[in-house]
Structure formats: C-alpha cells, structure tokens
Amino acid sequence: MISDSPYDVNEMALSPFAGMFAGLVAAFLMLGVVILMEPYSGLSVETVLKQFATLVLPKRFEQMEANTLMLIGLGVHLLLRLLVSLLYSVCQQRIPTRGLVAVGIFFGFILWITGSVIIGTLLGAEWRSASRSWTWLLANLAFGLCLATFSMIALSRRPATSVAVPRD
C-alpha cells in the first residue's frame, strides 16, 4: 500500500457488474475496430468469429453453416471478454486518470500477447496469423482503453474520498 496516496486504494474502480457491462461494450468495440481496419488488413469479422468458434468445436463441426459458426464464435468472444473484464474490474483499484489510461493500454497489450503468442502457438496457422496482426493489436488496445474509460466515468461519478495523509 502506498502510504501517502490521497486515494483509498482498497476501493475498486469498477464493480464486477459494471466491469462485465464494460467488457460487453468493449467486445463489440473490438469487432468494430476489425470492421474499420478490414480494407487495410484483409482480416474480417467473419474470419475472427469463425476462428473463435473453432476454439470450442471439434473438427467434425467445422463444416457447419457459416452463420451458425459466426454465432457460436460471437458467443465465445463475448464469454472470453466478459471473463477478462471481470478480472479487470476486481483488480483495478482507484488511481488517477493517467494511471487508468496506462493500465488500460497495458491490459490490452498483455491480452494481445497472451492471445497471439502464447495461445496462438497452440492453435492453427490461420488463428496465429489473424491474432498476430496489427488489426487485432488495435482491437485489444481499444478493449483495454474502453475498460479504462468506463473506470474513469465510474470514478468521476463517485464522491471524492478524504484520506488522511501522514506527514513526516
């Protein structure tokens, strides 16, 4: 604990429910980033969602109808992002705005590293190439920044805490 911090460091920036809501919004924001970057990268939302579907489906189900695969992939994407945003909300303490932005960017970068380098090596070449792209990096950074933005909004609506700062 930082003894001279003017913030109550035991207070979380987001409640778990608010964090999961922020994660849902951020998950759709990620898909929006992929859509916006598609002309430049060639990575489409269909490809991303189908890759998420193949994470949970056995090989014999990969020949399903494209819309069904996309819905399953969307469900997997939303579930993963809900879990990650829940992790963010229970770990992020009340800190200054600059710190929230830095943590959000770092969080998105770590998610990209984890998803592309560590998990990507275990999966097929198609997922590896999609997850290691600049588009997916930007999508993950947008995810982290969206969580940070929700934290900033939540903290701005709370009354300021008055913590006695010890003097030497």
pLDDT of residue 6: 59
Q: Is 10 within a domain?
A: no
Domain count, the chain: 1
Q: Is 59 within a domain?
A: yes
Q: pLDDT digits over 90-113, tens only?
A: 888 888 889 889 999 999 999 999
Instruction: Find the domain containing 132 and state its range.
Output: 16-156
Query: Per-residue pLDDT averaged across 73-98, rounded?
Result: 90
Distance in angstroms (rounded) separating the CA atoms of residues 165 and 38: 51
Is the pTM here over 0.85, yes or no?
Answer: no
Q: Is 162 within a domain?
A: no
* Alpha-carbon separation of residue 5 from 1, 60, 79, 163 (angstroms): 9, 56, 35, 8
The answer on pLDDT for 2 being more than 60 is no
Average model confidence (pLDDT) across the chain = 84
**Token pair recorded at residue 83:** 């879990």
Angle at 130 between CA 79 and CA 83, to 5 degrees: 15
Of the ranges 11-20, 25-34, 70-79, 138-147, which one carries the lowest mean pLDDT score? Answer: 11-20
Q: Is 8 within a domain?
A: no
pLDDT of residue 166: 63
Q: Is 1 within a domain?
A: no
Q: Is 9 within a domain?
A: no
Q: pLDDT digits over 38-71, tens only?
A: 999 888 888 888 888 877 777 777 778 888 889 9
Contacts of 108 (CB under 8 A, 6+ apart): 140, 141, 142, 143, 144, 145
Q: Is 167 within a domain?
A: no
For every residue of 127-144, DSSP letters joined together read HHHHHTSHHHHHHHHHHH
Q: Is 146 within a domain?
A: yes
Distance in angstroms (rounded) separating the CA atoms of residues 43 and 47: 7
pLDDT band of 1, cuts 50, 70, 90: very low
pLDDT band of 164, cuts 50, 70, 90: low
Q: pLDDT digits over 118-131, tens only?
A: 777 767 777 777 77
